[in-house]
């Protein structure tokens, strides 16, 4: 598969839809994750409601189009999820990219299916989910 199939118009459009924001004030927690392979960086801030569900998210993303597309989906779809749901979503992405699972149940998720053939790109796609899990873990420790 060619790189043009991977970085196609739909992926680039989704990546361009990424809405980054500023740091959320306390009681929001945050975490930053970096990819040692490609240098991508994701910083996420998360505010949870009284039931532990995601109430508000904000992000600062420095990543390739695949990482940006993944982050755009996360920012759009993660509201209302608790830590268990985020962990399950991250695992579903990892399984799908490894060829062991179906397309995760997110709008536009199938757009990232061509990345299955590029294992070196998988960490960039998973990085936003890893940062969100770390931010959620921080909010649990602070509570």
Q: What is the pLDDT of residue 128?
A: 97
What CATH number does the domain containing 104 carry?
3.90.1010.10
The residues near 4 (Cβ < 8 Å, ≥ 6 apart) are none
Give the total number of structural domains in the chain.
1
The residues near 119 (Cβ < 8 Å, ≥ 6 apart) are 97
Q: What is the pLDDT of residue 135?
A: 97
Q: Is 141 exposed, middle or buried (0-12, 13-18, 19+ CB in 10 A)?
A: exposed
**Given a cut of 60, is residue 143 above it in pLDDT?**
no
- Token output for 143: 């509570």
What is the CB neighbour count within 10 angstroms for residue 24? 17
**Given a cut of 70, is residue 141 above it in pLDDT?**
no
Q: What is the pLDDT of residue 83?
A: 98
The answer to whether 114 and 1 are in contact (CB under 8 A) is yes
Residues of the domain holding 135: 3-142
Give residue-wise pLDDT tens across range 86-131: 999 999 999 999 999 999 999 899 999 999 999 999 999 999 999 9
């Amino acid at each position: 598969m060619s790189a043009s199939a991977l970085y196609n118009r739909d992926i680039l459009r989704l990546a361009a839809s990424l809405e980054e924001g500023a740091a959320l004030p306390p009681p929001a927690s945050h975490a930053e994750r970096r990819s040692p392979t490609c240098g991508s960086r994701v910083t996420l801030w998360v505010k949870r409601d009284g039931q532990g569900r995601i109430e508000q998210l904000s992000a600062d993303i420095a990543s390739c189009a695949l990482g940006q597309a993944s982050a755009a989906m996360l920012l759009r779809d993660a509201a209302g999820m608790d830590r268990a749901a985020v962990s399950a979503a991250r695992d579903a992405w990892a399984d799908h990219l490894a060829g062991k699972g179906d397309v995760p149940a997110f709008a536009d998720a199938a757009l990232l299916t061509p990345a299955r053939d590029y294992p070196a790109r998988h960490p960039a796609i998973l990085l936003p989910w890893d940062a969100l899990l770390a931010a959620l873990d921080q909010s649990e420790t602070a509570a």
